[in-house]
Every structure is written in structure tokens, then in C-alpha cells.
Amino acid sequence: MTAADPDVAALLARWAERGEPAMFAGTDTDEGIAAARDRFAALVRETVRPADAAPEVRDDGPVPVRVHRPAERRTDALVVHAHGGGWVLGGGDVYDPIAARLADDTGAVVVAVDYRLAPEHRFPKPLHDVLGGLAWAVDHAADWDVDPHRVALAGDSAGANLVAGAALARRDRRQSVVGTLLVYPPPDFEGRYPSVRENGEGFFLTAGDVVACSKLYLGSANPRGDIRLSPLRADLAGLGPTIVATAGLDPLRDAGRAFAEALTAAGVDARLREHPTLVHGFVGFTGAVPAADEAVAALHREFAALIS
């Protein structure tokens, strides 16, 4: 197994020393879910590179969105973003620095959808929110002087799952996507992948976390055969150019690889970008781990080239 980046290892050791629990520890109660959300928000604030500007919060659509304008506009594409956090964590302003960085690095207006969270709002409500927020953003493209016909999608973790579903929905409506960025996506609720076992303990996201957040999102829904949950199992032909980024020490690594391979097999311009020494969550580690900051910068440069 590849060793973790030294700064990642130091960060994980610091959290272990102070007794940080697993991300989804205690989420079998309402109080535990609230505590996990607070804990996740605090960890992001501790490790992310801060943003210089606050977003414009819009709540006049079907779902609140947070609009991030870049310091310098370099494209008229509209980027719609969905945050990570296992469909349970990460709402509100937690992801503002991450979405703001995406806007500044790409020179694009980024509309971040503040979708409702599980378990209060289980599948398919978060997906419906992303689809609704996307449609609303396209309808309001003139508000930010962007081209409603040049839509791009981006998300990490659970957000990557949601925007992959949105990309399929647009494809089915014969609406193009100029580029999609999926960072450590969970694209398959049905498969079993070796990386869940190999990286299931000691690397921020645990195998237990994967099970816990899936249960919180699904509730009583049966994932088998539902491509809204498992976009890897859909007909992927006709999707736009897609960047799939993985972390080498992530339980979701192999599922992300499998998704990139399935996209390529379907004739999609798919680019797999692997980061062997990083862990799940690295888009939020940009202020604490130089290698994570460099990885995010490289992914954003490639995404910017797709949507320019």
C-alpha cells in the first residue's frame, strides 16, 4: 500500500491524538447527527484554504443556492456544484471556501446547490433538489451574464453522485454538459470493491462511515437497479467530457476507477486522475496539506480548459 502524504499523515495523527471520532459516529440519533454536522463543519474550517469573498445567497427558487462569482471572469459557462458530506453533512456555508476556490480557479460563476440533507430528507429528495437547482440556475443565467447553453457540473463525494445523476438527466433531455468534475465519487450502491476493505480504517472516511451514510440516505429505498443511485450502472453513452478524481487511500477509490472505465467504454471523453497519497476529503484540506492544494489546483485547471 502506498504511504500517505506526510502532511496528510500528520493531520490524521493530530485528529487521532485529540480523539476525533469517525465522521458518522453516533449518527443513529438526532443528537448524534447534529453533532456530526458540527464536527464536520469544524474540521473543514480547520483545514480548508479560506475564501476571500462571500457568496450571494438566493432563496427565490425551489432550493437555496449560493452563487460564487470569480475574482476574474474567464468563461461564460455556468457551473452548478453539489457539495459532499455523505448526503448528511456539509450544508449551509460549510462548503463556501471550496466552491469559491472553484469559481476563482476556473473563472466561472459557480452556483452551489444547498440541497436538503438526509436523514430528514432521504433519497430521492437531495437529487430532486440538485435537478431543481440546476434548472433554476439555467433559467436565471442572465442574472450572472452566463450562457444557459454552456452548463458544467461539479461535485465531490455525495455531491459527485448527485451531479452524475444530473448529467444523465440532461443527456436524456438532449441537453449538453460542457464538462463534469467528479471528485472521489460513490457511483455504485450495488458493487463490492477491494478498496473499501483496504482503506476502511485510519484514512478519515471509514468503511463504517460508508455504510452509515448510505443507510441514512437510503432509508427503506432499495438501491438495486436504480441508476439514480448507481450511475455507473446506467447507459453512459452521450455524456459530456468528465474528469473523475480518486484518492489512493480512500474506500471509494476502486468505485471511482470503475466509473471512469465504464465511461471510457461507453465512448465518453473520461479522464481518470488518481492521487495515490491522498485520502477522501482532500478538497477540504487545501489550507493544511500542500499536496491536496496542488491536486485541487490541477483538477481545476483541467476543468477550466473543458469549460473555457
Radius of gyration (Cα) for the chain, nearest Å? 18
Question: What does the mean pLDDT of the chain come to?
Answer: 97
Confidence at residue 70, expressed as pLDDT on a 0 to 100 scale:
98
Confidence at residue 100, expressed as pLDDT on a 0 to 100 scale:
98
How many beta carbons lie within 10 A of that of residue 238, not counting itself? 15
Confidence at residue 200, expressed as pLDDT on a 0 to 100 scale:
97
The beta-carbon contacts of 4-7 under 8 Å, at least 24 apart in sequence, are 4/203, 4/249, 4/277, 4/278, 4/279, 5/277, 5/278, 5/289, 5/291, 5/292, 7/288, 7/289, 7/290, 7/291, 7/292
Distance, CA of 219 to CA of 139 (rounded, Å): 32
Domains of the chain: 6-307 (3.40.50.1820)
Confidence at residue 1, expressed as pLDDT on a 0 to 100 scale:
73
Q: How confident is the model at residue 15 (pLDDT cuts 50, 70, 90)?
A: very high
Residues in the chain: 308
Residue 291 confidence (pLDDT) above 90: yes
Q: Supply the residues annotated as catalytic.
A: 157, 250, 280
Distance, CA of 101 to CA of 104 (rounded, Å): 5
C-beta separation of 256 from 242 below 8 A: no
Distance, CA of 162 to CA of 128 (rounded, Å): 9
Amino acid at 142: A
Q: What is the pLDDT of residues 161-179, one digit of tens each?
A: 999 999 999 999 999 999 9
Tally DSSP H helices, then E strands, for the chain. Answer: 9, 8
37 three-class SS: helix
Q: Which residues contact 99 (CB under 8 A, 6 or more apart)?
A: 55, 66, 68, 81, 83, 110, 112
Distance, CA of 281 to CA of 286 (rounded, Å): 10
Q: How far apart are the first and last CA of the chain?
A: 38
DSSP string of 66-122, one letter each residue: EEE--SS-----EEEEE--STTTS--TTTTHHHHHHHHHHHTSEEEEE----TTTS-
Q: What is the pLDDT of residues 67-96, one digit of tens each?
A: 999 999 999 999 999 999 999 999 999 999
Q: How confident is the model at residue 52 (pLDDT cuts 50, 70, 90)?
A: confident
Mean pLDDT in residue range 31-43: 98
Residue 215 confidence (pLDDT) above 80: yes
Q: What is the pLDDT of residues 259-269, one digit of tens each?
A: 999 999 999 99
| Percent of residues, the chain, with pLDDT higher than 70 | 100
Peptide bond into 119 cis (omega under 30): yes
